[in-house]
Structure 1
Amino acid sequence: MKFNQLTPEEERVIVYKATEMPYTGEYINNKEEGTYVCKRCNAPLYRSSDKFDSHCGWPSFDDEIEGAVKRILDAGGQRTEIVCANCGAHLGHVFLNEGFTLKQTRHCVNSISLKFIPAKSESELKKAYFASGCFWGTEYFFMKAPGVVKTNVGFMGGHVDHPTYEQVCQKNTGHFETTEVIYDPEKTSYENLLKLFFETHDFTQTDGQGPDIGPQYRSCIFYSSSDEKQLAEKYIQILNEKGYVVATMLKPASTFWKAENYHQQYYEHKGTKPYCHKYTRIF
C-alpha cells in the first residue's frame, strides 16, 4: 500500500501514536460541510454531520463512516485507541457514555491525522481579509458570524516572507495582524462582513486598537477585487456622513501568512472575551 509522505510532526502522531497539544489542531472549530479523510492514505473516516463540540481540545465525532475506523484496547486496558482501518494510522481514542450526544460516543481525534475535503469546492467559497487591531479579537466576532465557515489569523501587507509573531511585534515588518474570513456567499455577503468589521472595533483610532499601539494593530481592509473596494469605499462614505472620521485604510490583498497555531481561535480556546473589541450597532 502506497502512503502519502508525512512531515516529522505528522509522523510523530500518526505512526508513533503521540498526541498533538489540545486546542492547537486545525479542525477543532471547522464548521464546514464535508468529509474527513485519513492524512496517510486518504481513506474517508468521518462526516462533518457527525462532528460536535465537546470542548475537550480536539475534534470530536459521535460516529464514523461504516468500517472506516478500527478500535484497539490500549495495553493498560484503560483506553481504547482508534486507527484508520485501511492503513493503521493512529487517530486518537474513543470514549463512551459521556452524555455529549444521543449516540453516547466520542471519537477524540488529532486534527493532524486528518485531511478535510469540503462538500463545496473552494471555488464556491470566498475569502475576505480584515485587520482591526489584535487578530484574536477580530477573529472572535467573525468566526461566530452566520455564513462564515472558517477563520484563520495571520499577517498581511508587509515585506517579510513567513513572518513570526515575534517579528511582527517588532513593528518593522510592515505587516498588519489580519483575519482571513472564509464564507459561503449563498449564506452571507461581503457587505454583511464589512458591517461587522466596522461594528466590532474603533475605526477612528489611528495608532492601533484600544491599548494595543503599533502599526500592526491599525485598521485596514484588504480588498481582493474592485467590487470589494467599491463596497468598502461606500461604507466609509456612509460613516463619514454619520460624522465619523474614519482611519481605516484600504489596501489590495497580498499574501496571507498564517500565524502560529496557538493564535488560532484564541478566545474560543481560552473561554474568555476580547479586551479591546466589542460589538456596537451602527448600521
Structure 2
Amino acid sequence: MKYTSLFTVLLVLMTACGWSQNDKQNTKMNKLTDFEEYVILNKGTERPNTGLYNNHFEGGTYVCRKCEAPLYNSEDKFESHCGWPSFDDEINGAVKRKTDADGRRTEILCANCDAHLGHVFIGERLTAKNTRHCVNSVSMKFVPSLNGKEQKVVLAGGDFKGLQFFLAQIPGIVRTKAGFVGTGSEKPTYESVQSGEGNYVMAVEILYAPEKIAFDDVIRIFMEVHDPTTPNQQGTDMGSQYRSVIYYNTEAQKETAQEVIQELEAKDVKVTTTLEELPSFVEAAENYQDYYFRSAEGPKNHSYTKRF
C-alpha cells in the first residue's frame, strides 16, 4: 500500500448559493448551514481534529466560506498540532483583528464580511513569523492550484454524503463533488434519487493527482470506506441508488480497478462492485456538498474498514 492512514485534505466547490450585498461592496454571500452559522455568525468553535483542513497541505488559496474573499495562501499554512488549521500570515488586508469577548484573546474575522474565523496568537515561537492564526475549517473553502495533470473517476457506494466525507480526506485527492450518475427526463435532486425516482445512482466525482496517489490506491481506499459486499445497500440505505460502482473513464482505469477487485476477492471477500463506463455525472446542490464537514453530525452508514 502507498498510503498509511486517512488525513484531511481538501475540498472546494465554488457554486453560487445566492446573492446579497454588504456595506462594503457587492459580493456573493453563500447560504450557511446551521453549524456554519454557529461558528461563522455566532462565533462558535468546531471540535479539534475534526475539520477538513486540519491536516491539509495542498497548494492553493483558502477563501471565506461566507463571501469567498481570499484569506490565506497555502504556503503560509503550517502544522501546529493544535487541532485546527494554522497559518503564520494572511493575505494582505484580508483578515482583521479585535479583542475577543473574553477580554484575553484576539479574534480574527474576514475583513470583507466579518465572518468569524478563529483567533490569532503571538509569541509561541512555532514559526519564524512567531504568529499563529488558529482558524476553523468550517469558516473556509479551499481553491486548489491545479497543474492540468489531474485525472477523474466517479465512485458510487451508498449515500454520497458519507462517501465524500471519507474520500475528501485522502492525500492526493484534490477535489470531490457529490452528485448523481444515470439518465432520466427530470434533473435529479437528492430527494428524488433518495426516494428511488429515475435511473440514478448517488456518486462522488474525484479529481486526483497521479503523482501523489496511484489509481489503484484510490480504488483500495474506496473499497475500505464503504461496504462493497452488500448489493444495492449501504448500511441502512437500501435500493439500486446506493449500489457500489466504479465508473471508469479509460480502459486503463477499468483494468486497474479489476485487478484491485481480484486482489480483494483473493482474500475471500465477495465483491458486488460493478465496473461501468461513465454515462454522465450531474452535480448535486451546494447544500449537499461537503455535507458532514459543514454540520455537527457524522456519517451514519460509512466507516473505515481495513481490507488490504
**Same fold per TM (> 0.5)?**
yes
The aligned counterpart of 1:29 is 52
Taking the TM superposition and a 5 Å limit, the aligned residue runs for 1:222-261 are 222-253=247-278, 254-261=280-287
Question: What secondary structure sits across from 1:175 in the alignment?
Answer: strand
Question: What's the offset of the Cα at 1:44?
Answer: 5.9
Question: What's the offset of the Cα at 1:160?
Answer: 5.4
**1:204 alignment partner, one of 209, 214, 229:** 229
- Asked if 1:165 is matched to 2:175, the reply is no
Q: Deviations over 1:63-103 (max 9, x none)?
A: 212x33363869x9x9978565xxxx425246444999952
- Asked if 1:9 is matched to 2:37, the reply is no
Tell me if the contact between 1:91 and 1:109 (Cα under 8 Å) persists in the aligned partners.
Answer: no
The aligned counterpart of 1:270 is 296
For structure 2, the residue ranges without an aligned partner over 5 or more in a row are 1-15, 40-50
C-alpha separation in 2, matches of 1:246 and 1:216:
17
Tell me if the contact between 2:202 and 2:242 (Cα under 8 Å) persists in the aligned partners.
Answer: yes
C-alpha separation in 1, matches of 2:75 and 2:251:
36
Change (3 A) 1:221 1:97: same
Percent identical among aligned pairs is: 31
C-alpha separation in 1, matches of 2:115 and 2:137:
5
Question: What secondary structure sits across from 1:90 in the alignment?
Answer: coil
Change (3 A) 1:246 1:47: same
How many residues in Structure 1 have an aligned counterpart in Structure 2?
A: 263
Deviates most, 138-147 or 263-272: 263-272
- What is the alpha-carbon root mean square deviation over aligned residues? 4.4
The aligned counterpart of 2:9 is none
The aligned counterpart of 2:171 is 146
Tell me if the contact between 1:155 and 1:259 (Cα under 8 Å) persists in the aligned partners.
Answer: no
**2:113 alignment partner, one of 90, 93, 108:** 90
Residue type matched to 2:210 in 1? P
Q: Deviations over 1:238-276 (max 9, x none)?
A: 444554443212222222413442452416843645444
C-alpha separation in 1, matches of 2:215 and 2:20:
36
TM-score under structure 2 normalisation?
0.65
Residue type matched to 1:9 in 2? W
Question: What secondary structure sits across from 1:105 in the alignment?
Answer: strand
Taking the TM superposition and a 5 Å limit, the aligned residue runs for 1:49-198 are 49-51=75-77, 62-65=88-91, 67-69=92-94, 71=96, 82=109, 89-90=112-113, 92-93=115-116, 95-97=119-121, 102=126, 103-106=131-134, 117-121=143-147, 123-159=148-184, 162-198=187-223
Question: What secondary structure sits across from 2:271 in the alignment?
Answer: coil
**1:47 alignment partner, one of 66, 70, 73:** 73
Question: What's the offset of the Cα at 1:142?
Answer: 1.9
Tell me if the contact between 1:201 and 1:277 (Cα under 8 Å) persists in the aligned partners.
Answer: yes
C-alpha separation in 1, matches of 2:191 and 2:109:
37
Question: What secondary structure sits across from 1:155 in the alignment?
Answer: strand
Tell me if the contact between 1:97 and 1:104 (Cα under 8 Å) persists in the aligned partners.
Answer: yes
C-alpha separation in 2, matches of 1:243 and 1:260:
39
Residue type matched to 1:47 in 2? N
For structure 1, the residue ranges without an aligned partner over 5 or more in a row are 1-5
Q: Deviations over 1:169-226 (max 9, x none)?
A: 1202222121222222111111101112223333232221232111111111111111
